[in-house]
Chains A and B, each alone.
Chain A
Amino acid sequence: MPGKHLARWTLSWFASALSFLLAALALAVPFAPAPGAWLEGRGLALVHLLALGWLSQMMIGASLQFLPVLLARPLPWPWLSPLSLALTGVGTILLALGFIGLEGGGTGLLALAPLPLGAGLGLFLLMAGGTLLPAGGWRDDAGRPVLLALAALILTFASGGGMALAGTGGPVAISPEALPFHVGLGVAGWLGLATAGVSYRLFAMFLIAPDGGGRLRRITAGAALCLTGLLTLGLGLAGHWPAPGWLLPAAMICASVTAGLYIADIAQVWRSRRRARPEVNMRMTRPALAFLALAALLAPVAAIDGRFAEAAVFAALVGWLSGLTLAQMVKITSFLTWIQVFSPRIGKQKLPQVHELVDDAACRRWLGLWFAGAALGTAALLAEHAQGLRLAFAVLLVAALGIAREVRAIRRLAHLSFAARPPVLPPLFLPQLRMDPT
C-alpha cells in the first residue's frame, strides 16, 4: 500500500547505535591508547566501534527513514532492515573482538567478522540503491553525494576486509599500504558524503529555507567525485605499485575543497532561512561544522606529516559527524515520536507541539559538553597528551549519557504534563506491532 512510509525500525537502529557509542566511550576511558598508538588492537577496536557501530548504524537508520521521504519513493524490501541491523551489529562486535585479538589471542575473529558485516552492509546497499537508482538519484543534488557515499562504503568494506585478511595471506588480502585510502574512503567518502547529502534536504526543512541546490552543489559534487576517484586509485595501487607521493596529499586537498564548498553552501541555506530562531538541533549544528572546518584544515597536513592524522580523524568522527548526529537525533526522535503518538488524534483534540517533547536547555547543555570534550580530545592528540585524551573521553561519555537520557525522556513523553500524555505509550525502540487500532 502506498503511504506506509514511517520506517518501522528507525528507532531500533538509533538505539543500537547509541548503545555502541556508550559502550565505546565507556571502554575508551580506561583503555584508550596514548596518542600515536592508535594502530594497535585496542585503538582499532575503539575506532571501529565508533565508525561502524555508532556512526554507520545511525547513518543507515536515518537513510532508511529519510531516503523514501525525501525522494517520495517507497523503500524496496523494507523487511530487510532488521536483518541488516542484526548483521551489522554482530559483525561490528566480532571485528572489535578480532582487533583486540591482535594484541595476543589470535586473529580468527578478524577473518570471520567481514562475513556478517558484509552481509549487513550489502542488505542496506540493496535497499538504499533500490530507492536511489530508480528515482534517478544521480540527477538530484542531494542524491549525487549519497550515491558516491554508497560507492565509498563498498570500497571501505572491501579495503578493510582485505586488510583484515592480510594476516591470513589469502587471495583477497590487501596490503596495509591501503590504510590511508581506507580511512579516507570510510570517514570522508562514506560517512562524510552521506551526511552531507542527507543534510541538504533536512537542513532546508528544519530551517524552512528554499531547497537551494544549483551550481554550488554541482561543483561540490565534482570535488567529491575527484576525492573518491583519487582515493580509489590509491587503493587500487596499494601493494602492487608504489603510489606516487602526490596522490594522498592531492586527495586530502580535494577533501578540504569539498568541505569548504559544502560549508559555504550550508551557510547560504542558513542565511536564506525563514525560521527567525532556529531550533536547538540546528543551532548546535554550527559547532559541528566548525569541527568539519578544522578537520578540513588538518587533512592536507596529515597527508604529509602522519602525526596530525589521528587528530584530523578524531575531529571529523567525534566533533563533526558525532556532534551533528547527536544534535539531529534529538530532533528526529521527537518528530517521529510525535507522528507516531499524535497523528491519529490531529483535528480531534488539542495537541502539544513537537518542540514541547524536548527539553531544549538540557539538550543544549549536553551537546555543549560534547563539543567541549571533542575540542579537548583533538587538542590532546595534537599535543600528544595521554591524560588529556582520557579526560576527553570521560567528558564525552558524560555528555553522551545526558543525551541518551534526553532521548529516552522524549520517547516517554516525559516533558509533557500528565494530562497531555496518551494512556498507552509506544514501545521505547522496538516497532509497534500494529500502528493504530483503526
Chain B
Amino acid sequence: MAASRGLCFGLARLGARMGRSRPPLTHRRGVSSCIDPSHGLTEEQKEFQKVAFDFAANEMAPHMAEWDQKELFPVETMRRAAQLGFGGIYVQPDVGGSGLSRLDTSVIFEALSTGCVSTTAYISIHNMCVWMIDTFGSAEQREKFCPDLCLMEKFASYCLTEPGSGSDAASLSTSAQLKGDHYILNGSKAFISGGGDTDVYVVMCRTGGKGPKGISCLVVEKGTPGLNFGKKEMKMGWNSQPTRAVIFEDCAVPVANRLGMEGQGFNIAMRGLNGGRINIASCSLGAAHACVQLARDHLLVRKQFGETLSNNQFLQFKLAEMATKLVASRLLVRQAATALQENRSDAASLCAMAKLFATDECFSICNQALQMHGGYGYLKDYAVQQFVRDIRVHQILEGTNEVMRMIVSRNLLSEI
C-alpha cells in the first residue's frame, strides 16, 4: 500500500501543484505536535489556515530564495493570493474585502509567512493600507480605491517614517499646504516598503501645527506630478519588496483624497499600526514555526559522534525551549488579535506587547535554528538563513521594540 501510493499518484501531480518534491513543512509528520498552529482554532479558521499553508507551500516556498537573490517583487503571485481573498483580509466585503477577523488574519499571515516572510510582510502592509481607506475613507474614497486594492490590481504603501522622524513619528515634517482644493506636499519619507513600484501611497503629512494634532492623512496616487522616488535600498532581507524614499516636491494632491478630518492623520496612522503590529508579529511566528521544523528535521538526520544530533540532550532541550517560546508568542499574538477585534481597552497595549515579545522571541528561535544547522545554516542553499535575515527587521519597523516598551510602560505608569 505504501509503495503503490507513490507509483500511482505520481510525481507529476506533485510537480504540477508544488514546485518541489518535498511536502509542505506542516504535513510531513501527520500526527499533530505541540507546536501545531491549528490547535484551538475553529473549523472555519482551520480551513483558512489550510488554504494559506497550501498557497505558501505551492506558490511561495519554491521561489522564496530566488525572489530574495534576484530582488524580485512577485506581482503575479501576490495577485493570485488576492484572488483567494488575501488582498483585503479584514476589509469589508462591500468594497471587495474578505471581512474576516483580526485573529483570522493573524492565522493567515502566520501560514503564508512559512512560504516567504518578505512577500507576506508586504501583503500585510498592503492590507493595512486598504483597511485604513476602508475604515476612515468616505464612500467615494472607498469605492475609488478599495476594490482595485483588494484584488491587488493596484498596490499600496504606508508612508509615515521620514529621515528626521522614525520613533518620534509625531514630529514628522512633510508639509501639506492648502491651496484651493489641493494640498501642496513638500518633504520626503524614508524606508517605504513597495515605494516606487506601488500605485497608492497613504501619506501622513503636516497640515496644521506641531505635534500629532497637526497631522493629516492623504492618499497620493502614483503619477501625480511632484511625486518622486529615491534609489532602491539594498537590504539585509525583505528583498522581495523594493524599499525606497518617497519624495514630494510641490506635489499637488486633491483635498478629496484626504482620509478623515484634518488633524486626524496621526490617529489613523496609529490605528493602522495596531493591526500592522499583529500582522508583523504573525509573520515572525510563521518564520519561527518553519525554522523549528527545519531544525527538528536536521537534528534527526545529521550525525556526529556516532549518533544523530537528536540524541544530544543540550539540543533536545534547546529545541524544547524554542517550541515553548514559539507557542507562548503565538498565544500572545492571537490574544492581542482578539482584543483588537473586540475593541478592548487594553488592545493597543496588548498589540505592542505581542509585537515586542513575538518578534524578539521568534528572531531568537530562527537564529538558534540556524546555529543547530552548523555550517550548513550559513549557506544560502538552506532556507533557515533567509528566515533569520527576513525577520530581523520585524524588531525595528512598525514601531521599534523600544517604542513598544514605551507604549506598555506608559499604560502601566499613567496616572489616569
* Chain B associates with chain A: no
Binding site for A on B (CB under 8 A): none
Interface residues of A (CB under 8 A from B): none
